[in-house]
């Protein structure tokens, strides 16, 4: 137990030294990190905006193709229905 008690004191002193060191270095290190992070953040935001715009274009194209397919299917269904009506009701026009 004596070993653990001696390590606890060293941990507190080590933590205190690290905290003081960080407090002293923070005013120097933070602006450097901030100046490096700003261009990275701007690039990430620009990339996100570009991806969003491209995604909207792709979705618009897919929507247009889907609308065309639906319109074609409706036209074919109407044509098929008209053909079936003509075949099933021959001679009703002569009454």
Task: Looking at the chain, list the stretches that DSSP marks H as alpha helix, in order from N- to C-terminal side.
Answer: 2-88
31 lies in a domain? yes
Residue 89 falls inside a structural domain: no
| Half-sphere exposure in the Cβ direction for 42 (13 Å, CA) | 6
Residue 87 covered by a domain: no
Whole-prediction pTM? 0.49
Domains identified in the chain, total number: 1
Cα 95 vs. chain centroid, distance in angstroms? Answer: 66
Confidence (pLDDT) at 63: 97
The parent domain of residue 76 ranges over 2-82
Q: Pull the structure tokens for residue 81.
A: 């229905």
For residue 13, being part of any structural domain is answered with yes
In a domain, 42, yes or no: yes
Does 94 map to a domain? Answer: no
Q: Rounded distance, CA 58 to CA 54, Å?
A: 6
The pLDDT tens digits of the residues spanning 28-75 come to 888 888 888 889 999 999 999 999 999 999 999 999 999 999 999 999
């Amino acid at each position: 137990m004596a070993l653990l008690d001696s390590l606890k004191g060293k941990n507190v002193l080590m933590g205190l030294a690290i905290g003081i060191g960080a407090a002293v270095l923070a005013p120097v290190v933070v602006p450097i990190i901030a100046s490096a992070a700003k261009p990275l953040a701007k690039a990430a935001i620009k990339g996100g905006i570009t991806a969003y715009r491209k995604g909207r274009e792709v979705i618009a194209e897919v929507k247009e193709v889907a609308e065309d397919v639906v319109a074609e299917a409706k036209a074919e269904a109407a044509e098929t229905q008209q053909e079936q009506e003509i075949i099933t009701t021959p001679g009703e026009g002569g009454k």
